[in-house]
């Protein structure tokens, strides 16, 4: 049983009876009652465990709508380059970087570090030495820079063709520059890269999930089944409680045939105590900075006019077949043409897909397409802190690619909510920090809490309630789980988060640093008092 100063149930059906609620009873992983401290005295039996949170505020357990915990650990192996601002900084960081089996692995590099210069291995090779393979991931997760020895280890000596849009960028003479765009190109090198043994990765995943629980996360929609995550969560549950309830969506990449689709459908039955395979993740495009977002009009470098699928009609056909299997989909769509294509695809499904198909990211979009989310019942899933990679004055790589008009339509969270769409919020960790307090604050401020950065597209700021709903009721709706979680009501899963400051009334700059006295996932306490 949990007592708090205030319980925000976010439950429209019981709000009348639970207005002023300060107590929640839990048994066998479920919420059994919601009421006052006086009610709680009646609920109490001899074996009842009481958690008195004092002045804290209890809300439904927060769910990150887009996260990559296991793949993220793989993507974040090596040196963190997030503090690098320019080429000198990059060279200095690489010169002193740790080696793993002789390789330098690094991640989180901002494209802006290259300034006006192309992303090219010649900018860093001399500081690494002639025999050191290096693989440096750009922050967007969709491109990387490999040095000569890394390319040689992978046997990459020139341009390649792929079943999906992906590029081994080459100089005019056909020599690879080291810039690898999209997963199929990066996979050439990641396939030969060193990685840590399974038990170490299992423990690293468990530790990461505990840190996430410490920030208030009770669950996450995992947008990949990479990094051996199914093996890792099974291994964790052999001996421990999985700290977050994970809803895992494996990828369906271009070229997946009928057998592949059948396997993805069969995989949907897999589950454990606190995880399940739920849905499939697809990509319809790449990223703005990489020139691979699918835009209605070319970007300022003349790129960005193509889908990730060589024939977008194949994407539509695959979604139609998955829908026929009853499989939910989540499609990465960043450019306005990509979003339109997914919406067109859903509009043509029987029953418009019954709310089972959602769109991830949506970085630049006009009002006309924005309205269709609510009309078609397509949940939007967005990561407000991604806009921190842009600048309000449009001098960053993302904005200069798009030009002023499209950069002004950056991350239109508020427009989507105001037109009635479901809007799940998340971090896309490791692309941005997983802490939900920071994302909730950012969604309201359109800048990082505790900074004086000029807000990006501030008219798109969410209200405190809209932001909290993005991690609770709307996250549940986006996954088709509203009857099981997302609110505090009897019969729902016991997913609970408590904050010292009230997320609905606290100043957002202060809220980002508030204490998290309790996180409960599926009835199990996963964080007590923490950060
Ligand atoms: Zn993602």
pLDDT score at 163: 85
Q: What's the pLDDT score for residue 14?
A: 60
- pLDDT at residue 378, as a whole number: 98
Residue 43 CA to ligand 1 centre (angstroms): 43
Cα torsion through 270, 276, 279, 280, rounded to 10 = -70
Distances (CA, A) of 353 to 115, 261, 299: 44, 17, 32
Q: What is the largest CA-CA distance in the chain?
A: 80
**Residue where the block lists tokens 């107590």:** 23
The answer to whether 205 touches 73, Cβ cutoff 8 Å, is yes
Strands (E) across 19-122 are located at: 23-27, 30-35, 51-52, 57-60, 62-67, 79-80, 104-109
Q: Please tell me the distance between residue 368's alpha carbon and the centre of ligand 1 in angstroms.
A: 25
pLDDT score recorded for residue 164: 84
- Distance (angstroms) between ligand 1 centre and the Cα of 39 equals 43
Q: Which residues fall inside 5 Å of ion ligand 1, going by CB? A: 223, 428
pLDDT at 18: 61
CA distances to 153, 180, 319 from 186, in Å: 13, 6, 25
Distance 293 CA to ligand 1 centre (A): 14
Q: How far is the CA of 250 from the centre of ligand 1 (A)?
A: 12
Residues 6+ apart with CB under 8 A from 27: 523
DSSP character string of 459-526 = GGPPPHHHHHHHHTHHHHHHTT-TTTSSS--TTSB--EEEESS-TTTS-HHHHTT----EEEETTEEE
- In the block, tokens 């995992």 appear at 222
CA of 276: how far to CAs of 211, 233, 246, 279, 299, in Å? 21, 10, 7, 10, 39
Measured CA to CA, the distance from residue 415 to residue 370 in angstroms comes to 7
Distance 473 CA to ligand 1 centre (A): 21
| 232 and 452 Cβ atoms separated by less than 8 Å | no
* Rounded distance from Cα 67 to ligand 1 centre (Å): 6
Q: What is the pLDDT, as a whole number, of residue 531?
A: 41
* 28 CA to centre of ligand 1 in angstroms: 33
CA 102 to ligand 1 center in whole angstroms: 29
Q: What is the pLDDT along the chain (531 residues), one digit of tens a residue?
A: 999 999 999 997 665 456 789 999 999 999 999 999 999 999 988 889 999 999 999 999 999 999 999 999 988 889 999 999 999 999 999 999 999 999 999 999 998 899 889 999 999 999 998 899 999 999 888 899 999 999 999 999 999 999 888 999 999 999 999 999 999 999 999 999 998 889 999 999 999 999 999 999 999 999 999 889 999 999 999 999 999 999 999 999 999 999 999 999 999 989 999 999 999 999 999 999 989 999 999 999 999 999 999 999 999 999 999 999 999 999 999 999 999 999 999 999 999 999 999 999 999 999 999 999 999 999 999 999 999 989 999 999 999 999 999 999 999 999 999 999 999 999 999 889 999 999 999 999 999 999 999 999 999 999 999 999 999 999 999 999 999 999 999 999 999 999 999 999 999 999 999 999 999 999 999 999 754
CA distance 423 to 417: 7
**d(CA 367, ligand 1 centre) in Å:** 24
Full 3-state SS string of 117-166:
CCCCHHHCHHHHCCCCCEEEEECCCCEEEECHHHHHHCCCCCCCCCCECC
């Amino acid at each position: 049983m949990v007592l708090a100063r205030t319980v925000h149930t976010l439950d429209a059906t019981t709000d009348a009876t639970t207005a002023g609620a300060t107590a929640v009873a839990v048994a066998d992983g479920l919420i059994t009652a919601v009421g006052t401290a006086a009610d709680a005295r009646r609920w109490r039996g001899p074996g009842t465990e009481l958690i008195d949170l004092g002045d804290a505020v209890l809300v439904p357990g927060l769910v990150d709508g887009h996260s990559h915990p296991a793949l993220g650990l793989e993507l974040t192996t090596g040196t963190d380059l997030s503090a690098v601002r320019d080429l000198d900084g990059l060279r200095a960081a690489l010169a002193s970087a740790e080696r793993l089996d002789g390789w330098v692995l690094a991640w989180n590099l901002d494209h802006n570090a290259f300034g006006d210069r192309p992303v090219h291995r010649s900018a860093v090779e001399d500081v690494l030495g002639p025999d050191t393979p290096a693989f440096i991931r750009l922050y967007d997760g969709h491109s990387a820079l490999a040095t000569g020895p890394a390319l040689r280890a992978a046997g990459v000596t020139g341009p390649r063709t792929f079943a999906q849009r992906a590029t081994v960028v080459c100089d005019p003479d056909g020599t690879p520059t080291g810039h690898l765009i999209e997963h199929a190109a990066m996979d050439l090198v990641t396939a030969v890269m060193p990685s840590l043994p399974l038990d170490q990765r299992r423990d690293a995943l468990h530790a990461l999930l505990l840190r996430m629980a410490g920030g208030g996360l009770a669950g996450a929609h995992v947008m990949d089944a990479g990094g051996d995550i199914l093996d890792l969560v099974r291994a964790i549950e052999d001996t421990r409680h999985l700290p977050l309830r994970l809803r895992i969506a494996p990828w369906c990449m271009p070229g997946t045939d009928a057998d592949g689709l059948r396997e993805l459908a069969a995989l949907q039955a897999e589950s454990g105590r606190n995880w399940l395979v739920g849905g499939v993740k697809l990509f319809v495009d790449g990223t703005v900075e990489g020139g691979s977002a699918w835009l209605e009009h070319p970007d300022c470098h003349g790129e960005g006019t193509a889908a990730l699928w060589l024939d977008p009609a194949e994407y539509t056909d695959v979604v139609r077949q998955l829908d026929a299997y009853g499989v939910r989909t989540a499609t990465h769509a960043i450019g306005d043409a990509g979003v339109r294509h997914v919406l067109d695809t859903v509009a043509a499904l029987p029953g418009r897909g019954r709310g089972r198909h959602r769109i991830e990211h949506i970085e630049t979009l006009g009002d006309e397409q924005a309205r269709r989310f609510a009309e078609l019942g397509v949940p939007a899933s967005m990561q407000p802190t991604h806009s921190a990679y842009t600048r309000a004055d449009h001098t960053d790589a993302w904005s200069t690619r798009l030009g002023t008009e499209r950069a002004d339509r950056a991350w239109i969270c508020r427009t989507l909510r105001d037109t009635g769409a479901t809007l799940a919020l998340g971090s896309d960790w490791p692309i941005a920090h997983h802490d939900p307090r920071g994302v909730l604050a950012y969604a309201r401020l359109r800048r990082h809490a505790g900074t004086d950065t000029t807000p990006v597209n501030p008219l798109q700021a969410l209200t405190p309630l809209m932001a909290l709903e993005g991690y609770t009721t709307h996250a549940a709706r986006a996954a088709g789980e509203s009857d099981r979680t997302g609110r505090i009501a009897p019969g729902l899963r016991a997913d609970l988060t408590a904050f010292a400051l009230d997320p609905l009334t606290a100043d957002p700059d202060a809220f980002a640093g508030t204490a998290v006295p309790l996180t409960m996932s599926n009835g199990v306490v996963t964080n007590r008092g923490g950060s």
